[in-house]
Amino acid sequence: MNARNSIDHSRPYLLYAQVEGLIRNEIKREGLKPGARLPTETEMCQRFGVSRSTIRQALNRLEMAGLITRTRGKGTFVHQTSELETSDVHAERQADAIPAPMQHKFIGLVFCARSDTLQMSILLGAEQAAKSRGYAVMFGYSGEDSHTEMQEIERLLRMGAAGIIVMPISNVTSTPGVQMVQEHKLPLVLVDRYLSDLDTSYVISDGYDGMYRITEHLLILGYDVYAFITSGREALTTTSVRDRYAGYCRALEDYGHAAAIQPPVVVNVDERKEVALFLAQYPVKSARPLAVVAVHDAVAISLMRTAATLDLNPPHDFAIVGFDDLPIASHMPVPLTTVSQPRYDLGFKSSHLLIDRIEGRVVMDEKLVLPVSLVVRDSCGSRRIVLARQPATTQPALFAVSGR
């Protein structure tokens, strides 16, 4: 058998699965016993006419199935024949369960979570753009897990997706699923964030500019901005978090507060004691009020709710701002000052960019950074401060600027 001719190169995203099946069949056909040594990765590359990464993906799957064992410096060996037979039955059942490719054109979209305002808005934008171009949208969820992300990408590609939009999981610089799509040169666009170790097309909001502007707003109002807070689930390896933190730091530098820059502060925003200790550890400096910058609205809102149980509320006890402009932000007892992202446009432009790549159109800019806008509400105390600064002859100040 000429293994090279058995590979269908018109379906590149299934190459590793095809190689896996051929290796499985050769082991079974040749009756290789446990402990038998398989060819090297280099020999397999030549035999099947595929890349080393494809061979490794196939071997990884065979090893996970218990069919082979790999020992560094020694090679790859057949494991147990009984497990091979059991796995063959399981593989056949799995193959039967895989839906046939859809007949109409569609794109795949892999989100991080099942319920999220940002993601649902992105989906609406992506669906509208795709529909206008004659495509449907199928989607799945990674659950912030790289293995699940790979499975969802594979599922969508097996069903016949012409390209994939992925919202990458948090706190990583690369994922096997996104890397696999990129290596096989399939149409791919990342949305909301990008992966710093991979050079891909993406559509994101301008987190740097948004956080710069909201921090600048606080500084112009006269606040001592003393912390960029996260809940611990957000790390600087997530590019959206990193960009926002960079904008925050740059604003402090530009306004002469470089000495106040410190790493992001992790606060369990749902714990009363921790929130109380966090707010109490920063003494009032001169007569200027204090301000907190949250990485996003969910962190800001949780901290506000917990602080309220301690009778600490913005803007009187502290000022606070967020990022995202979630629908609930404007309905809080103290409405939240925040940065509004173009959520719908993220999906709309991602879908158009992906379909342009699918259809071979010339794409001038494959890295789109969409503008954001500052939304000023009560949590930053703007109105209180402006009124307090007005001369008594024009309008009496309703509130005095103070610390705690």
DSSP 192: S
Return d(Cα 123, Cα 364) in angstroms, integer.
Answer: 24
Tokens of 389: 């600064």
Residue 299: the pLDDT is 96
Residue 392: the pLDDT is 44
Residue 371: the pLDDT is 97
Pick the CATH number of 106-200 from 3.40.47.40, 3.40.50.2300, 3.40.50.80, 1.20.59.10: 3.40.50.2300
Residue 58: the pLDDT is 81
Entry pTM = 0.73
Residue 80: the pLDDT is 54
Q: Which one, of 14, 102, 98, lies nearest residue 61 by Cα?
A: 14
Which amino acid is it at 126? A
pLDDT block averages, 10 residues each, the chain of length 404: 61 70 81 84 87 80 79 80 46 44 78 82 95 94 94 90 95 94 92 95 97 96 89 93 97 94 95 92 61 96 96 92 95 97 96 93 87 96 59 38 30
Return d(Cα 80, Cα 30) in angstroms, integer.
Answer: 14
C-alpha distances out from residue 20 to 176, 183, 185, 378, Å: 17, 18, 20, 60
DSSP 70: E
- Consecutive H or E run containing 373: strand 373-375
Tokens of 25: 């069949």
Q: Which of 108-127 are b and which e, b meaning 16 or more Cβ less than 10 Å from the residue's Cβ?
A: bbbbbeeebebbebbbebbb
Q: Which CATH class is domain 3-97?
A: mainly alpha
The torsion defined by the Cα of 97, 103, 109 and 114, in degrees rounded to 10, comes to -50
Helices 343-358, 117-132: crossing angle, 10 deg rounding: 40
CATH architecture of 207-340+374-389: 3-Layer(aba) Sandwich (3.40)
Q: Do 106-200 and 207-340+374-389 come out as alike in CATH topology? A: yes
Residue 282: the pLDDT is 66
Tokens of 390: 């007005």
Domain range annotation of the chain = 3-97, 106-200, 207-340+374-389
Q: How far apart are the first and last CA of the chain?
A: 81
Q: Furthest-apart CA pair in the chain: how many Å?
A: 98
Query: Cβ contacts of residue 89 below 8 Å, gap of 6+?
Result: none
Return d(Cα 42, Cα 312) in angstroms, integer.
Answer: 65
370: helix, strand or coil: strand
β-pairing verdict for 373-375 and 68-71: unpaired
Residue 20: the pLDDT is 82
